[in-house]
Amino acid sequence: MKKIIYSKLTVLILLAGITSLTSCLKDKRFEDFGASKPIIELPLGGLSNFTSDAITDSKDTIVKQFAVNLASPTELGQDLVVTVGVDNSIIDKYKATNSSVDYLPLPTDSYKFADAKVTIPKGTRTQILSVTFYKSKLDPSKSYMLPITIKDGGGQIISGIYNTRYFHFIGNDFAGAYKHQFTRVPATATSNYTYADGKSSTFFPDSPTQFEVAGGYYTQDIRYVVNFTKTGTGSGATYSHFSIAINQDDVDRIAANKIAITAQPIIIGYTEKEYTFAEASVLFDNGFQYSVLGSSGSRVNHDQYKK
C-alpha cells in the first residue's frame, strides 16, 4: 500500500531531492556528452523522470525549483540567454502515447510562472528557476499538467531528451469536499459524543486509485488511507477491492502518546463487488470505523462522509 507521510519524512524527501539535483549538476554526464557543440537541458527532466515530477505535497502553496544547464566539454566564453516557458501543446502530445490519465492544462490562476529569459553567465553552466503552485485552485478529482520546456536555446542545441519538466497533479474520482460527521462512543457507555457534525473534509488524492482523508478524532489527527481498483473509464467505470488503513505516520504518533489502535478501520457495510460511482459513494455515507485505547479508556470512532 502506498503511504504518503506529511511529517518529518517529507523533509527527508525534500533534502534527498536537493542532494540529487546538486549531484546531478556536478555529474560529468551533464558536462560532456562527447558532442562537439554545447547542449542546453533541464536536468532531471524528460519522460524518463516523469514520475518524479508528480506533485503530492499536502500544503496549499507549493514551490518547485529546477535547473537550466549547459552541458558541454567547456564553459562558454560569453553569456548565454535561454528562454524557458510553459507549452500546453505538450500535454496533447503526451496523451497521444500515454492515455491512462486524462491530464488537463493547469488553470492560469493555479500557478505562477511566465516565460523566462535565463542568462547563464560566461564561465558558468547552471541557473536555478522556481515555479509556484496553488493547490486550492485545483479540482482534486481531476489531473493536471504544467509542461515547462526550453523554447529557445540561445543558438545552442536543445537536448532532445531533457528539454521539458512535466510537473503534474494526479486526480482521483472520489477526491473533493464532503460533509463530515464524527461520533466517538465510549466502550463502557451507550451515549454518543459528536465532535464534527456537517463540517467539510476533503478526500485528497495520492494517486488515481488512492486517497486520504482526515478523521474527526478530536485528540489527535488521524488520516484514513483508502485504496481501490478502477476498471474502465468515464461513466461506465466500475470500482472494486476497496481497502482502508490508518496512515502509519499517525499510528506511530499516537502511540508515542500512549494511544493504541485496538480495532483496525473498516468501511461500514462493505461487501466485495463491482460498484458504480454512485454505489461506491454510498460507502462513504456509511462511513469508516476503528477503535482506540488511551488513558481515559476505550473509544469507538466513527466518521461519515457525504457529498
C-alpha 86/C-alpha 81 separation (Å) is: 17
C-alpha 209/C-alpha 240 separation (Å) is: 10
Are residues 261 and 244 part of one domain? yes
Sequence-ordered list of residues with C-beta below 8 angstroms from that of 194, at least 6 positions apart, any chain: 181, 182, 183, 184
Are residues 157 and 15 part of one domain? yes
Are residues 220 and 159 part of one domain? no
193 close to 272: Cβ distance less than 8 angstroms: no
| pLDDT at res. 296 | 75
Are residues 165 and 182 part of one domain? no
Q: Which residues of 150-160 are buried (b: 16+ CB within 10 A; e: fewer)?
A: bbebbebbbbe
For residue 104, being part of any structural domain is answered with yes
| pLDDT at res. 16 | 42
pLDDT in tens, 130-177: 999 999 899 888 999 999 999 999 999 999 999 999 999 988 999 888
Are residues 188 and 159 part of one domain? no
- First vs last Cα of the chain: how many Å apart? 26
| pLDDT at res. 190 | 56
For residue 253, being part of any structural domain is answered with yes
Contacts of range 245-250, beta carbons closer than 8 Å, 24 or more positions apart? 245/1, 246/222, 246/290, 247/3, 247/4, 247/5, 247/212, 247/222, 247/223, 248/3, 248/5, 249/3, 249/5, 249/6, 249/7, 249/9, 250/220, 250/221, 250/222, 250/223
Are residues 160 and 114 part of one domain? yes
Are residues 202 and 75 part of one domain? no
Parent domain of 139: 8-169
Query: Where among 117, 147, 169 does a domain terminate?
Result: 169
| pLDDT at res. 219 | 61
Residue 113: which of 146, 81, 135 has the closest Cα? 146
Query: Where among 113, 138, 169 does a domain terminate?
Result: 169
For residue 3, being part of any structural domain is answered with no
For residue 43, being part of any structural domain is answered with yes
The three cell numbers locating residue 166? 512535466
For residue 2, being part of any structural domain is answered with no
SS3 state at 196 = strand
Are residues 180 and 126 part of one domain? no
pLDDT in tens, 4-57: 433 333 333 333 443 444 444 444 434 444 456 899 999 999 999 998 999 988
For residue 75, being part of any structural domain is answered with yes
| pLDDT at res. 191 | 60
Are residues 201 and 59 part of one domain? no
Are residues 57 and 115 part of one domain? yes
| pLDDT at res. 101 | 83
Number of domains in the chain: 2
| pLDDT at res. 21 | 46
Are residues 157 and 247 part of one domain? no
Sequence-ordered list of residues with C-beta below 8 angstroms from that of 297, at least 6 positions apart, any chain: 186, 187, 188
Per DSSP, 106 falls in state P
For residue 1, being part of any structural domain is answered with no
CATH number of the CATH domain containing 104? 2.60.40.1740
Neighbour tally for 74: CB within 10 Å: 11
The three cell numbers locating residue 88? 500546453
Are residues 95 and 27 part of one domain? yes
Instruction: Round the CA-based radius of gyration of the chain to a whole number and report it.
Output: 24
